[in-house]
Structure 1
Amino acid sequence: MPNLKNIYTDMWINAEQKIRNGQHDVDLLIGAQEDSRRGITVLSYLKQTDGNASHNIMEFLHELSTQEPEQYYYPENELHLTVLSIISCVSGFTLKDVDTTDYQQVFIEAAKSVGPLEIHYSGITASPGCVLIQGFPVDEQLQELREKLRHAFRNSTLPSTIDSRYKIATAHSTVVRFQTPLRNHHTLLELLERYRAYDFGVCRINQLDLVFNNWYQHLSQTQLLASCHLR
């Protein structure tokens, strides 16, 4: 299993340097009508989990938004953990391109034998264009689930792009995206530094969703394909 702390630390060092130098990325497609990127994803919504992590994350975002109000902050009902991207978001992809019933069956069959997942959200990290909450699986269940899903979809005849961009290994949740230049990157970094090791709490995930989604996982653009309860 990869050392998640090292991965998150490397991300922070790279992002911190770019933000400090005013070289952060700005995403101009958030909310753009012409953005047709769509995909299929297995995820869990943090608000539906047991624990108070999503509430604590929202308190952090409220504090952050007072400093940088023009950025994009995920609402609580859209905070999520991506378990696995089955089809990565590509322009023009629609559900007419696939047989959703087959995807539903493979997903449920692969996930039904996995128990609840526990993720400890501890500290923040960043990329040049995002702020992320660091997630640490309490046990091996998340890794086992991802391998079951990989195996099931690869052994099916269904089109997928699993791990085509990169092999997902972390358990982070993206909570802020930069959509305009920062007001003050120095004060932003000071606030982020205060939360580098903040304990947001543990989520117990009892339900997974298979969804058709846009790049940002906006609920208004999301269609639920199937749910699986973890027992």
Structure 2
Amino acid sequence: MHRENLNQLYGNLHDKTSIEILKGNYFIDELIDSPNDQRFGLTLLIRPSEKIKIEIENFLNKSKEIEPEEYYYPKSDMHITVLSIISCHSDFNISKISVNQYSDIISKSFNEVENFEIEFKGITLSNSGVLIKGFPTNDSLNNLRDNLRSNFKKEDLENSIDSRYSISTAHITTIRFRKKLKNPKNFLIFLEQYKNYNFGTLKVENIELVSNDWYLREKNVKKLNQFII
């Protein structure tokens, strides 16, 4: 997706969600603190640099002063989803799949994918939280995703690619709503300061294949492979 289209998508999402938040129409995730959440899956992801994580953490620390009860991603869990290969579900078991087979398909999908960077500039909203807007510098991420979709379609391996939605952005989820916002108006006014804030640019050098829980918590993430670009 070209930058102008991506920016428009992020902008529309922000404007639409802001209105809904003021009406009290947003998703409160009641499973975040549940010890019985057994949803696991398989994800291809990119990790932001330490410098970008620190910028995001500074933003989150200020957010906490206004809405302390929401779920804030720690630096260890921050990520950009390239593709959810197997969406998290309670029956997933890593021992029942061949990691090597998945790795082979993923490796093949990097053919003719050029190096790229992601510029993280500004925030947007979804009905479940706050996202950092990511803008890839070329079409490589889209091309990689398309290659993955095409290559997995040819194979008889469990996957649920695009089953929830077809991913086209390069965002980082940073806040999830786990309680009703105490002062949504003040929170939105605060977020406005970061609408175009420059969190930094990442040169993507490697992509990880991991097994993970729904929130990519460090304690539940197992790194299975790494692909160098």
What interval of TM-score do these two structures reach, taking the shorter chain for normalisation? over 0.9
Aligned to 1:79: 78
Aligned to 1:6: 8
Q: Deviations over 1:86-109 (max 9, x none)?
A: 111122211133222211222223
SS at match of 2:49: helix
- Counting only pairs closer than 5 Å after superposition, residues 128-207 of structure 1 correspond to structure 2 as 128-207=127-206
Cα offset, 1:157, TM superposition: 2.1
The number of aligned residues is: 227
- Counting only pairs closer than 5 Å after superposition, residues 1-231 of structure 1 correspond to structure 2 as 1=1, 3-47=5-49, 52-111=51-110, 114-230=113-229
Cα offset, 1:22, TM superposition: 2.4
* Structure 2 Cα separation of the partners of residues 153 and 139 of structure 1: 23
**What's the C-alpha RMSD, in Å, of the aligned pairs?**
1.6
- Aligned partner of 2:90: which letter? S
Q: Deviations over 1:175-211 (max 9, x none)?
A: 0001111121111011111111111121111110001
Q: Which runs of 5+ in 2 are unaligned?
A: none
SS at match of 1:56: helix
Cα offset, 1:215, TM superposition: 0.9
Cα offset, 1:66, TM superposition: 1.4
Give TM-score scaled by structure 2 length.
0.93
Preserved CA contact (<8 Å) 1:47 1:77: no
Q: Which runs of 5+ in 1 are unaligned?
A: none
Preserved CA contact (<8 Å) 1:213 1:221: yes
Give TM-score scaled by structure 1 length.
0.92
* Structure 1 Cα separation of the partners of residues 48 and 109 of structure 2: 21
